[in-house]
Amino acid sequence: MVITVAAGKGGTGKTLVAVNLAVSLHRAGIKTLFADADVEEPNGHLFVNPTITRKEEVAIRIPRIDENLCDCCGECSSFCSYAALARTPSRVLVFEELCHGCGGCAILCPMHAIEEKERVAGVIEHGRTGEGMDFMQGILEIGEPKASPIISQMKRSLAPDAVNIVDCGPGTGCSVMTTVQGSDLCLMVTEPTPFGMHDLVMAVKMAEALGVPSVVVVNKDIAGNSEIKQFCARNGLDILLSLPFSREIARLNSSGINLVDDDKQWESEFLSLYEKATSRVGVKGGLS
Ligand code: SF4
Ligand code: SF4
């Protein structure tokens, strides 16, 4: 079981939901892996304090042109969809930041003038929390523009015999789509603001395009707000949990304290969220 926790917008409480859900499952005796795939800024570790036992580098393969062999035919630059190669009259320029490491240019070069060298894009850390919950986080190298290779490698390390709670990055870009793709369910965390509403629509559309069913968690919920509820009702999206707009929750969260550590009642709330969510796996809706 892979549950991705996403939000079209940053700051909605995505990590709060992901961490509290994972900890609740682990304490209920369900084998759980918490994976922080917000690789540009992973902060789930602040809430679960894991001991890191293993690190693995993630490298992408970048072309290197042998100018002694290259005849500047330009086939490689015509092929590259990412404009990472540019042919000049005398040589081929490589823009490493744009390269996605697909390897296509090296395969098709008729002069066999392209070798590949590895460039480290980031690291994946594996560990375990003090309570024994499995933990993993991806960390993007500073200045590295592409998060997807790290996330793809993290996905290969998910535990097939566990519930994997995967905290996505914000937004609906490539890296989030890479994370959500293939998951069993996407928990959409939103907040009752115009921005939250706007970005929820985008995130639900993204999950729908990927064929991943969505359910909704509303954070900072306030009485009288009905726009998100109406949207969800219109589109067959279940709101499975509402966290109140609360100064105390904000204080706990900003202090790195889990809700489930402050009040045991939250464990049953998050377990109930899990049970309702898993009963929705396989259900798909259409936006209106
Ligand atoms: S395909 Fe090979 S020979 Fe042609 S320009 Fe690219 S590197 Fe040079
Ligand atoms: S490896 Fe792929 S993305 Fe990178 S330069 Fe070659 S064709 Fe372009």
Question: Nearest residue CA, atom 6 of ligand 1?
Answer: 76
Domains of the chain plus CATH, in order, are 2-49+130-279 (3.40.50.300), 59-120 (3.30.70.20)
Q: What pLDDT, on a 0 to 100 scale, did the predictor assign at position 143?
A: 86
Nearest CA to ligand 1 atom 8: 70
**Ligand 2 contacts CB of residue 63 (under 6 A):** yes
| pLDDT, tens digit, 9 for 90 and up, residues 115-160 | 999 999 999 999 999 999 999 999 999 988 889 999 999 999 999 9
Q: Give the mutation target among 76, 81, 100 for probing the ligand 2 site: most ligand atoms within 8 A of CB.
A: 100
Q: pLDDT confidence of 282, banded at 50, 70, 90?
A: low
Query: Nearest Cα to 127, choosing from 118, 115, 138?
Result: 138
Residue 7 has phi, psi (to 5 degrees) of -165, 135
**Which of 70 and 12 is assigned the larger pLDDT?**
70
Is ligand 1 within 6 A of the CB of residue 114?
yes
What's the rounded mean pLDDT across residues 83-103? 94
d(C-alpha 253, C-alpha 243), whole Å: 12
Distance from the CA of 205 to the center of ligand 2, in angstroms? 29
| Residue bearing tokens 């490491």 | 101
Chain segment 168-180, per-residue pLDDT in tens: 999 899 999 999 9
Describe the chain by its helix, strand, coil percentages, rounded to 5: 35, 25, 40
Query: 224 pLDDT exceeds 80?
Result: no
User: Closest ligand 1 atom, CA of 74?
Assistant: 5
Q: Could you read off the pLDDT of 226-252 as tens digits, one per residue?
A: 888 899 999 889 999 999 898 999 999
Residue type at position 210: L
Confidence of residue 213 (pLDDT cuts 50, 70, 90): very high
- Nearest Cα to 14, choosing from 23, 22, 5? 5
